[in-house]
Amino acid sequence: MSDIPALDPPRRTLMGPGPSGADPSVLAAMGLPILGHLDPEFMRIMDECQTMMRRVFRTANDVTLATPGTGTSGMEAAVMNLLQPGDRAIVGICGYFGERIAAMAARTGAEVTRVTAPWGSPIAPEDIERALRDGPARLVAIVHAETSTGVRQPVEPVARLAKEAGALLLLDCVTSLGGEPVDIDDWGVDAAYSGTQKCLSAPPGASPLTLSPAAWRAVQARETPANSWYLDLGLLEAYWDSRRAYHHTSPISMTYALHRALALVLEEGLEARWRRHERHGRALQRGLEAMGLALHADAAHRLSVLTTVRIPEGVEDAPVRGALLERFGIEIGGGLGDLRGRVWRIGLMGESSTPGNVLYFLASLGGLLREHGFAADTGAALDIASGGLNP
């Protein structure tokens, strides 16, 4: 019938803060035959996903699984299961997603101590140390790759402080896993979560999560049930381990996509993948600076997978982003929270991290900025970026 709408989404070059593009084989995996969520063959696929997630997280943790939902489901599962009423949580906040962790922690009934830094700088370990000296804490939580600011948080100094104080360390790896170096066991991280739609380059819909033995003991020792039934890790873990206890109908096709995406990460090799993201991210950043733009994040702590660039004076945010999308099919992100209207967020994550995307974006942005009255040196940007793209 003619009144039934057709489904025909346009093709985009996804260079925002997520989702990223996906390899055709990942998308094809979602079209494979659907199995029952307790089918022995699906259990085998889950086991393989679990093994690959451990390798990508660089952990030996038994409790490693994927929560159903986007990265926020992993965040909520970790926070809600590790904290109880009366616990104290120290949350490092240097951007929008640190604020989200703090908001979730408050909903558990925990006492939340916020340790802050300017939106563009990482949390100083000495500020965490000072908060730990003020009293015992159950949990210290930080964001490894702050998607709102483009800042990479040093993890190991904070992990040492948490361990010395007898606190668990929670790490948000939503934007970093598969694109920036992540080493859960060597760093001493107790709980970490990520998302499929960023550097793992699968559609949004699952959140890899891993818990150390200490974190798992804390979950098992809870005196009250977790605030979320659906994300109760005691129930979810029983579905992912050998008991296969029914909890929910697993997102079958999404699990296929996760399986294929993890396989592609491991086929490329973690170190090679990290080098690729570093090379392309730095080429983009040097190109933006050569164009005459200023980067926002502290130079020593800039992510390679997500770049924040300041919007030049006299140029409006939305018209430029809208023109990039409508005329060139390029999606980038605007600022969040304190940075709304002040920065653009440019992602080079997973399948979207290519030399072609770097050069296409710089050429497109440079032309638009000139139309909007900013004298962008597009030629210099392309020359500088091109020089940094070769392995």
- pLDDT tens string 147-191: 999 999 999 999 999 999 999 999 999 999 999 999 999 999 999
Domain housing 378: 270-388
Number of domains in the chain: 2
* Domain identity same for 85 and 225: yes
Of the three residues 248, 267, 286, the one that is the final residue of a domain is 267
Residue 83 belongs to a domain: yes
* Domain identity same for 283 and 295: yes
Residue 16 belongs to a domain: no
Residue 109 belongs to a domain: yes
Residue 379 belongs to a domain: yes
Residue 15 belongs to a domain: no
Residue 167 belongs to a domain: yes
pLDDT more than 90, % of the chain: 97
Query: What size, in residues, is the chain?
Result: 391
Average pLDDT, the chain: 97
Instruction: Enter the pTM of the model.
Output: 0.96
Split at pLDDT 50, 70, 90, the class of 1 is: low
CATH number at residue 108: 3.40.640.10
* Domain identity same for 233 and 301: no
Q: Would you state the structure tokens that stand for residue 260, as one six-digit string?
A: 């294929």
Of the three residues 219, 242, 267, the one that is the final residue of a domain is 267
CATH number at residue 353: 3.90.1150.10
* Domain identity same for 262 and 285: no
Q: Which residues contact 336 (CB under 8 A, 6 or more apart)?
A: 95, 96, 148
* Domain identity same for 226 and 342: no
Tell me the longest C-alpha to C-alpha distance in the chain: 69
Residue 5 belongs to a domain: no
Pairwise CA distance, residues 35 & 136, whole Å: 47
Pairwise CA distance, residues 298 & 284, whole Å: 16
**Per-residue pLDDT at 58 exceeds 70:** yes
**Per-residue pLDDT at 222 exceeds 80:** yes
* Domain identity same for 83 and 172: yes
Contact 87, 139 (CB under 8 A): yes
* Domain identity same for 229 and 279: no
Of the three residues 226, 243, 267, the one that is the final residue of a domain is 267
Residue 2 belongs to a domain: no
* Domain identity same for 224 and 276: no
Residue 329 falls in which region: left (phi positive, over 0), alpha (psi -120 to 50) or beta: left
Split at pLDDT 50, 70, 90, the class of 2 is: confident
* Domain identity same for 210 and 281: no
**Per-residue pLDDT at 195 exceeds 60:** yes
* Domain identity same for 29 and 145: yes
* Domain identity same for 223 and 303: no
* Domain identity same for 258 and 346: no
